[in-house]
Amino acid sequence: MGMITNLMAQQTIWQLPEGSRVLFATLIVAGAFVLILGLIPVLQTLPPRGRRAIIVTVTFLAGLFFAAEFFLPVNWTAFFPQDDPTRNFLTPAIQPAQNVLQIIGALALGLGTFGLVRLHLRNAVQKRPQWGYSIVLLVSFVVMATLSILNTLAEKEIVERGPVLERAFSILFDYTLVQLDAAMFSLIAFYIFSAAYRAFRIRSVEASILMFTAMLVMIGVVPLGAFISYTLLGLPEAGAPEGANFLTQLEHNIGLPKIANWVLTQLNAPAQRAIEFGVGIGGLAMAIRLWLSLERGVT
């Protein structure tokens, strides 16, 4: 009865005193292990239809939790005066649920890393083509992982941070990894150049519009566009005065920066808004299909 009263007053196991929380958490983790170990043989003996029924049910319940937490009313102070009016009884469980998802993601990282190392070990051992690169990967992986772990332990003062560790980690992280990241990103500038040279051709009406708009925006957004419009051509930079005639308004708004801004806010933004609506609705429809197990793609 006390448990129910606590729940109704929005106290859940996440808010129990420290000692009870550790006990409950231990029981939950142990229970989860037992459940999984017991479930695997049961699932394997079930026929495919039975397995599917369990998967559909679990998927539905998992999705129902998040949907219910969003749609259930939050303000129950009329019935429970000491209640928090900004959440319902499911809200405190959202953060732990997200934490569980992150832990599953972390486990998957181990799986992915195992697959990568296994592949390259096999390449190296069997001397498959380009096995030298596999050796480089494996050595880099081991060295970087070792130094990173030692560095983290040193930050927590579990091991001593010697000058060798500090220097080695700095060389690998600051002077290698970070710089390689920046170098890969800067490749994009060169690739844009070759892609633009190849793609922006007057082949059709649409391609021409694309090309001219791109050129206008490219020159309008940089200081050179302002220099050309306001210094070289002498166009006024300030906005047109109130009640100005059409020609004056045109003169005040024909600068390259203003045209570029117009393209970005009056053409790009509405088109992007429309696409985002479609994507949002598509995502919602897909999520509903997954939740109700109507999607027969991957599953």
Partner 1 sequence: MQARTQTLWQRMLGIDRRWLYLILFVNIVTFLVAPIRMPASISPPVQKFYDEIEKLQPGDLVMISSNWSASTLAENQPQLEAVITHLMRKQARFTIISIEAQSRDISYRLAERVTKEKGYQYGEQWAHFGFVPNLTVAIKGMVTDLPGTIKQDVRGTEVSKLPVVQGVKSLSDYKMIIDVTPSGTVPIWISYSPKNVRILYCPTSVMAAEAYTYLDSGQIKGMITGAKGAQEYEQLLTVVGLGTRFMNAISFSHVLIIVFILLGNFAMFMNRLQQRREE
Partner 2 sequence: MSYQHAQDNWFAAILIAFIALAVLVNILRARMGAQLYIRRIPGLDAIDEAIGRSTELGRPVTMIPGLTAFGVVAVQALTIFKYITKQIARFATPMRLLSADPTVFAVAQEAIADAYNEAGRPDLYDPDNVRFLSDRQFAFASGVAGLIQRERVAASFMFGEFYAESLIFAETGNMVGAIQIAGTVSFTQVPFFVAACDYTIIGDEFYATSAYLSREPVLLGSLVGQDIAKLLFALTTVGGVVAATIAGTDAPIIKLLGQPGGWEAFWNSVLGGGGQ
Residues that bind partner 2 (CB under 8 A): 69-75, 86-88, 91, 104-105, 108-113, 115-116, 119, 122, 130, 180-181, 184-185, 187-188, 191-192, 194-196, 198-200, 210, 272, 275-279, 281-290, 294-298
Nearest distance in Å: CB 277, partner 2: 5
User: In whole angstroms, what separates CA 157 from the centre of its chain?
Assistant: 32
Contact 183, 208 (CB under 8 A): no
Nearer to partner 2, 29 or 271 (CB): 271
Nearest distance in Å: CB 107, partner 1: 14
Residue 129 token pair: 């083509």
Nearer to partner 1, 164 or 189 (CB): 189
Nearest distance in Å: CB 54, partner 1: 28
Nearer to partner 2, 79 or 185 (CB): 185
Residue 69 token pair: 């937490």
Residue 282 interface partner, choices partner 1, partner 2, none, CB cut-off 5-8 Å depending on type? partner 2
The residue ranges that bind partner 1 (CB under 8 A) are 86-87, 94-95, 98-99, 102, 178-179, 181-182, 184-185, 189-190, 192-194, 196-198, 200-202, 211, 215, 218-219, 221-227, 229-230, 237, 255, 257, 261, 264-265, 268-269, 272-273, 276
